Structure 1
Amino acid sequence: MAMTIALNKAGKRFNRDWIFRNLTFQFESGNSYAIIGSNGSGKSTFLQVISGAYHLNEGHCTWTDGATLPVEKVYRHIAYCAPYLELIEEMTLLEFLEFHQHFKPFVAGMTPKKIIEEIGMQAAAHKRIQQFSSGMKQRAKLAQCIYSDVPVLLLDEPCTNLDRQGIDLYYTLIDQYAKNRLVLVGSNDEVEYKFCTQRLNIMDYKSF
């Protein structure tokens, strides 16, 4: 399912501080976009606007998949991975992925067991997530996001806590499962977004 997300003179602020303003841009399926900027510049806030979690203070954001989507239904079409999103740590990895697929089915042919095999975590399938290292938790977050059968992937600092092997896995998952989708990567580290075909610098839309 193709998706277009269009921003028109969009602005977001907290109290009197504008995070970005007068931002007009269109994101389309089949393309990957890097949302770049210095630490604290508003990359995460921007992605949360795109996800429908935050409302704009001015301008508009529209989501279209053949018809315009109401904001309260946008979450069904988006998968999100970010360091600040928590996993259900009382569950095992297998339980977590089985639970997740009740809300967002996985891409065709993939089951929780197959996903665990592909991400190389068979030995941890029945361990509680609270026992995982930070890198293992990040792999689980990437899995629940990238394997979800949705048209839009939002990846906020997706390689946080990953070692070289984990970063290689990230590239593999992007290459195999993200080519025909709309991908936005929020980061100031080119390692995380070097595959992106377009870049949007949030610093270009500050209001001083």
Structure 2
Amino acid sequence: MLKINNLCKSFKNNDVLKNINYTFKTGTIYCIQGKNGSGKTVFLKSICGLTKATSGTIEYDGKVLNKDFSILPSLGVIIETPLFWKDKTGLETLEFLTSIKGNVKKEQCIEALNKVGLGDVKNVRIRKYSLGMKQRLAIAQAIVEKPKILLLDEPTNSLDLDGVEIFQKIMIEEKARGTIILIVSHVMDDIEEICDKKLSLFNGTFKEIN
């Protein structure tokens, strides 16, 4: 499980996150909504180690982020607008990203691209990809290593109806695999039907939505 203990994050005199306490469990899809500027992205960045909390702790399986490890050990992430190398193909991009850990074969990269509907354009350079295709590639890179935690910031941005349906199907598959899934959005229409738990981030704190 992923446990958030008294998490606070401030920028100068602005308290963005205020004493957040929550436990995220395996095999569950959590949908976090909130207005622009409410701290949703800051919250995800705190969990994945891109920004350090002002106070509080983030625990995963009993170990503490920034103490026992600098980044969660099994993590798939989309944060803000995805950027990729324009002269690489979709397949080359996944092969390069997965080469960092070296635990994924080429066939698994192709499988991830097929899942998001990019199998036919896997050898096309990204400069020719539309915004929706780039967003699909971002989803592919998040799931390709079969992570235990998924942190997804506005993952349905630029997706057409078919892309949204593919995303929903993938999330249900990831949930069945036992993944902890946190989806952040300011618009819930695309993700509401797959949510197990709905949370609202308002004034720096969480509130569960029935």
Same fold (TM over 0.5): yes
- Does the CA-based 8 Å contact 1:152-1:182 persist in structure 2? yes
TM-score, structure 2 length as denominator? 0.86
Identity of aligned residues (%): 25
Pairwise mapping of residues 33-112 of structure 1 onto structure 2 (< 5 A)? 33-64=30-61, 67-71=62-66, 72-104=69-101, 105-106=103-104, 111-112=108-109
Corresponding position of 2:146: 149
- Opposite residue 48 of structure 1, the aligned amino acid is K
Shift in Å at residue 120 of structure 1? 2.4
Distance 2:121 2:89 in 1: 8
- Does the CA-based 8 Å contact 1:157-1:192 persist in structure 2? no
Return the match for 2:171 from 159, 170, 174.
174
- Opposite residue 80 of structure 1, the aligned amino acid is V
Note the residue ranges of structure 1 that are not aligned, 5 or more in a row: none
- Opposite residue 23 of structure 2, the aligned amino acid is Q
Note the residue ranges of structure 2 that are not aligned, 5 or more in a row: 206-210
Instruction: Report the RMSD for the aligned CA atoms in angstroms.
Output: 2.1
Distance 1:30 1:118 in 2: 20
Return the match for 2:113 from 97, 109, 116.
116
- Opposite residue 93 of structure 2, the aligned amino acid is F
- Opposite residue 29 of structure 2, the aligned amino acid is S
Distance 2:97 2:175 in 1: 19
Distance 2:136 2:109 in 1: 13
Distance verdict in 2 for CA 1:7–1:70, change over 3 Å: closer
Could you list the per-position Cα deviations for residues 92-141 of structure 1 after superposition, in whole angstroms to 9, with x for gaps in the alignment?
111111112223545x9952223333322233211111221000000000
Shift in Å at residue 146 of structure 1? 2.0
Could you list the per-position Cα deviations for residues 31-79 of structure 1 after superposition, in whole angstroms to 9, with x for gaps in the alignment?
1211211111110000111112211112222222xx5154344243111
Return the match for 2:13 from 6, 13, 16.
16
TM-score, structure 1 length as denominator? 0.87
